[in-house]
Amino acid sequence: MATSLEIVRIPVLSDNYVWLVHEPDSKATMVVDPAVAEPVLDAAKARGWTITDIWNTHWHPDHTGGNAAIKEAAKAWGGCTITGPAAEFERIPTLDVQVKGGDTVRLGNHIAEVWDVPAHTAGHIAYHFADDAAIFVGDTMFAMGCGRLFEGTAEQMFANMQRLATLDDATRVYCAHEYTLSNAKFAVTVDPENEALAARLAAVETARAAGEPTVPTNIGAERATNPFLRAPSAAELGRIRALKDAA
């Protein structure tokens, strides 16, 4: 049986999280959505890990900005491979491998299925490690939130939420931003009778006041408190997304 993945949260910029993922058997180490390079390289070096892979979920610079510098640094230990969405390859010039929904990618003995999750960007993807009960969603889902519909539709985001809702409650959701407090404050305005949501808002306020991170989240928590995951239709998701955008 494969050993568990070691997953490290690296806070960068004002509210981004980069995920450093290490597979102990093969010693392969992957970075998800490196906004910048230096903190990621420092985190890997501190653990004695060498970065072998970068996986991008979408083209936005705060998810790909560190690609080139990490790839350059990785030449010292044999190089790294950058994988990302085929539909956005023209906007991610550092890509080595293009993937789309239904493809699989490997980190040592651990295999992730690629999901197409368009809406935030047209070619956005996610990486689902089914055997590890983990999914890296970029800017598709946040704790109690979802990404803005920059290049897609409410219908697409609703389909994404419905697919995420099929996962087990224990599945950990690794999103790319610390938006939880603002999301929770908004969520209670559209779901004011939700006791689980009120309790979660209180817990998040305490955590953030102490400077503690609030992600990863998990599907069970989102099923109970995320208004976008709980939306009964694309029209309703679109309505509350518009309200959030205006908030």
Q: Is residue 104 classed exposed, middle or buried when 0-12, 13-18 and 19+ CB atoms within 10 A define those classes?
A: exposed
Q: Using one digit for the tens of pLDDT, what is the confidence trace for 113-128? A: 999 999 999 999 999 9
Which of the residues 22, 33, 53, 63 is marked catalytic? 63
CA distance 214 to 40: 20
Using DSSP's 3-state secondary structure scheme, residue 203 falls into: helix
Asked about 58 being catalytic, the answer comes back as yes
φ/ψ of 195, rounded to 5, equals -65, -35
The pLDDT-based confidence of 2 (bands split at 50, 70, 90) is: low
Please answer whether residues 16 and 32 qualify as being in contact, where contact means their C-beta atoms are separated by less than 8 angstroms.
no
Asked about 139 being catalytic, the answer comes back as yes
Which of the residues 22, 33, 53, 58 is marked catalytic? 58
Interacting residues of 89 by C-beta distance below 8 A, sequence separation 6+: 95, 98
Structure tokens, 120:
């935030």
Helix axis angle, 180-190 relative to 195-209, nearest 10°? 160
Q: Averaged over 205-214, what is the pLDDT?
A: 97
Kindly tell me if the per-residue pLDDT of 1 is higher than 50.
no
Which of the residues 22, 60, 110, 124 is marked catalytic? 60
Kindly tell me if the per-residue pLDDT of 145 is higher than 90.
yes
User: For position 236, what pLDDT does the model report?
Assistant: 98
